Each structure stands twice: as C-alpha cells, then as structure tokens.
Structure 1
C-alpha cells in the first residue's frame, strides 16, 4: 500500500467515530437488526427508515443511504425509488446492494429505475451479481455467488465506467475500483459465508464510510478492509458461526487505525 492511501484509508475509521454519520438503511428484513448493530459498533448511527411516507424527507437529514434489494416487497420498491430520487436532489451518497439480481429478473427493473431517477455512488455486490450486471455469465445460487475471482476486476471496471461510480465485488478476494484506480483486498475468512447477512452488514458499513468521505473509492476500500480484518480477528476466537457472528460485531467495535494499517493486505493498481 502506498503511504498516502494507507493514511487516507485509516483516517476514514477515525472520521466515522468523530462524525457519527446517520445512515438510512432500506434493507432486507432477514438482516436488518445485524445491519443496525454493526453500524453502531462501527461508530455510525443507523436508521432503518423504509416507510414510503417518510423516506423522502428522511434522506434529507441522513449522511448516506444504503439500499439493499434482498427482500424487496412492493412498498420497499416504491420507497427505494423515492429515496434514491431524494438522495439525488439533496446530494446524499447512495450505496446500492443488488442482492439476487442475477437470480430474480424483477430486480433489474428496479435497479434500472433507481438509476433513472437517482444517482448511485457505490455498487457493492458479490462477484456473481457484479458479473451479471456487467453483462457477463454468472454462476449463482439464490443470493450466493458461485463464481471465482477470475475476471471480477474487469467486471467492476465495466460497471464503474458505465455508471460513473465506485464498484466493489466481494468474494474470496475483494475488488474495488472507480474505473481507473483499483484495490484488491486479500484479507478474508471463509466463516463469513457461514452467517446470514455478512454482505448486508458490509453494505451498511460502506454507507457509513461514504457518508464521511468525499473520496468514495478510499471510503469503500476502508469499509471492506475493516469488515475483513474484524472477521479474521473474530475467527481466531470463535470457530463456529453463532459465536463468530457475535464476535464479528465486537471486533468491529474494537477496530483501530493501527489494526487497519498493520493487518491490511491490499494490492493497489
């Protein structure tokens, strides 16, 4: 890592804890509690505001909007579109998690509508989802990706250039790009695949980081590295999914700049 990128990446964590960004989450109902708790542990303020009659005005006071399409019902669909429109009007960063877009065709219609009325700053998905959105073949099982890392960075770059945003593809390795500069994170643990909502929690963390930084590429990289380092630490202590899930939130809370600086395994391109 270059010294400049290290310093900027680490400072995102400090900024989150100083500024306590309000992150509005319209997320799936399976993991809503986990998203709220990990945001609190990270230093942010979660708001799980998704009611159609409230979202437009709530976006105005938030520092970031996290949209997760995992359990999309009709009211949520209307709410995410309205919230995305409000975020564009009020210049609030938006993180889009296109959960199951490769498995459920309806999700693509919603994603297209979000881009029609709003502006997305970060797309964060698993490798299968990102490959699919980039127009490549993808191998998925419901919400889970079965794709390996081959070609993942290229898919991210295609999407980043198409939508002029940051794109992150998560898997055994994580790939983040703005279409020009890229980062590959090699921190990870397979235990993240044994709990529900690891990707959803990560998307929420990306929202907190984006809400505190003008540099969304560095912010997204910082959030993903934070999740992975905390997961590695949690796995050292908890070898089974139930205890790992609890320890993951504990180690997010215990993160420091020094842990990010010493533990990060990042290739910058």
Structure 2
C-alpha cells in the first residue's frame, strides 16, 4: 500500500522542478547524449552537455546538479568527470553517477572510485547487475546489460547505500530505491523501455534534474524513476513499436502532472 504522504511529496516535486528549471550539467555517453538533453527539456529542466576539461570545473558552479555517465568514457571525459565532481564537492552541487558497464570493464571502476575519493556522489543509478557489482557481490552482466533478476536486489542497494552514504537506484523488472534507511519498490513500467537505446541514460538525466530541484535526494530519485515508468506506460499504450514509442515517451514526460503520478503510481514503501 502506498504511503500517501510520501507519494504526495514525490508528486509535488515534479511541479517544483518545473518552477525551478534546474540547470543540469551532463558528462555523458555519445550514444544517447541528444536523448538526455531532450528528455531534460521535456521534463522541465535545462540541460548543458559541458564536458571539456578546461570548462567543467567552473561550469559546475553555475549548475543545479551534475550528471556523470561513464558509458563511452574517453580520456578527456574521465579527467573532466573527476574534476567536475571535485568542483561539485567544493560548491555543494549534487551529483548523479551512472556506472554503465562497470562490471564488464575494469577501468570504469577505477574512475568511479576516484570520483568517490576526490569528489561526491549523491545518487547512484544503475541496473541491478551494476549495483550488485559495486556492492562487492557476484553479478551477471553482458556489456551494458544486466542478466540479474530482482532477487536480493533491494538488499544489495541497502548495503551499497550505507557503504557509500548515498541514494542507490537499481533498475530492472521492478525498480528499487533506497538511502539505506528508507526504501521503495516501484512496480510501474513497461518492457518496451528495454527495446530502445538510452532509456537508462535518460533516467539518469531525470535523476539529475530532480536532484537539482529537490533537497531530499531519496524523494528525488523516486520521483525520477516513477516519472520515467509512468511515461513509458503511457507511451506504450499509444505505440507498440520502438521507434514511435521513443517519440511518445518524450511527449508523455512533457505531459506529466502531480495528479497523474498520484493516480497511477505503484510504489511499495519499505
């Protein structure tokens, strides 16, 4: 059963984002950079795809949040991501980290560790395989994809959240969010989100938007995941094929409202 007070807070945060129009600096992968920019705009945020090493430190100071995605990590991106996270720590700017393929490519873990050592991370958003890997557990991955089911996922999230003192989001057939004390499982969504490139990256960007406008990062992460999943359900009702679905997904993100989240949200609070 939903905790209406928490669901009300989640829904209200959508309106607050649109009022604040947070500026989200994105250092993200080249496969989905345009998707991330457009979904932030549709959501009501302002994207800035600033990743040049000589620019990121100062640009973070202007931003409401920083989103780091290590999916197609170039050497300049690597150094820029670490430097930007240092600036975020110094200037109290929230950071969302998307550890794409960290379980498949060892170099990514070393970059993630540098970000945690030198900078800050407020929200980690990954698939279940990536989260289990970061929690120090055996995980099944294939490139950027997780082969894990939901068994033990929430427990892994809680361990990682307590270890790193941040909010953890694990996506799968059921999505889990926790700050180590409060937890939520979201049962909205559609399998069609796995049939288009960039749904995970776009969700990471939405987490950045919410982190930049909502003080409670647990509520922020729940709002981002719930928004993506409800928009996905609405898009799938209108489009049963991937190409049209992706266009409709953007439309439904744009049309989200407090009322829709409260009426359709399937959140189990734990």
* Fold similarity call, TM over 0.5: yes
Aligned to 2:22: 21
Aligned to 2:103: 102
State the Cα deviation string for residues 17-56 of structure 1 (Å, max 9, x = none).
0000000000000000000000000000000000000000
State the Cα deviation string for residues 108-151 of structure 1 (Å, max 9, x = none).
10001001111100000000000111111111110001100001
Q: Distance in 1 between matches of 2:214 and 2:165?
A: 17
SS in 1 for 2:112: helix
How many residues were matched structurally? Answer: 269
1:1-269 to 2 correspondences below 5 Å: 1-269=2-270
Q: Distance in 1 between matches of 2:215 and 2:255?
A: 25
More moved, 1-10 vs 253-262: 1-10
Q: Which runs of structure 1 show a deviation greater than 2 angstroms over 4 or more consecutive aligned residues?
A: none
TM-score, L = length of structure 1: 0.99
Stretches of structure 2 lacking an aligned partner (at least 5 in a row)? none
SS in 1 for 2:137: coil
C-alpha RMSD over aligned residues: 0.5
Superposed displacement of residue 3, structure 1? 2.0
SS in 2 for 1:138: coil
Q: Distance in 1 between matches of 2:7 and 2:199?
A: 24
Stretches of structure 1 lacking an aligned partner (at least 5 in a row)? none
Q: Distance in 2 between matches of 1:101 and 1:115?
A: 14
State the Cα deviation string for residues 92-121 of structure 1 (Å, max 9, x = none).
000000000000000010001001111100
Superposed displacement of residue 2, structure 1? 1.4
Superposed displacement of residue 6, structure 1? 1.4
Q: Distance in 1 between matches of 2:222 and 2:140?
A: 25
Q: Distance in 2 between matches of 1:35 and 1:119?
A: 22
Q: Distance in 2 between matches of 1:236 and 1:144?
A: 25
SS in 2 for 1:102: coil
SS in 2 for 1:172: coil
